[in-house]
Amino acid sequence: MIDHFGINCSDLTASARFYDEVLGVLGFTRQMDFGVAIGYGPEGHPVFWISGWDGPEPNREVHVAFQAEGVDAVRAFHAKAMDLGAESLHEPRLWPEYHPGYFGAFVRDPDGNNVEAVFHRAPPES
């Protein structure tokens, strides 16, 4: 059900140092590092993300990604969220900067959280 999730940090450098160490003892490492967001997990799959946050304290949005069964399910997720009045953060599309076949859509839930549906094996023509 949950594919990955992320939290926002007021001091990304300090948080990265913390999570490098505490997750390292559990066998998890940095899988991706975009400078403003770092993904940790087992080899080849970032599951837990940290990102910088410079918004007002203490509220910070949470990011949760739900696994979808295919690109049509990602599109249906986005369409249903729009029907319910959600804010679209990113329309359904391929995200090759994450990895080939990554197809996702992002919306803001009623409490302001960043919620995503993702399918990892989308064909290039999606």
Residue 113's pLDDT is: 86
Two domains, one topology: 2-52 and 63-119: yes
Portion of the chain with pLDDT greater than 70, in percent: 98
Residue-by-residue DSSP string for 29-75 = EEEEE-SSEEEEESTT---EEEEE--SSSS----EEEEE-SSHHHHH
Sign of CA dihedral 109, 7, 37, 97: negative
Residue 29 and residue 23 in contact, taking contact as beta carbons nearer than 8 Å: yes
Residue 58's pLDDT is: 65
Pick the CATH number of 63-119 from 3.40.50.300, 3.55.40.20, 3.10.180.10, 3.40.640.10: 3.10.180.10
Residue 39 and residue 3 in contact, taking contact as beta carbons nearer than 8 Å: no
Give the Cβ contact number of residue 68 at 10 Å: 23
Would you kindly state where each structural domain of the chain is located, as residue ranges?
Answer: 2-52, 63-119
The CATH code of domain 2-52 reads: 3.10.180.10
Residue 85's pLDDT is: 92
Residue 60 has pLDDT above 80, yes or no: no
Residue 114's pLDDT is: 93
Sign of CA dihedral 92, 83, 115, 44: negative
Give the 3-state secondary structure of residue 95: coil
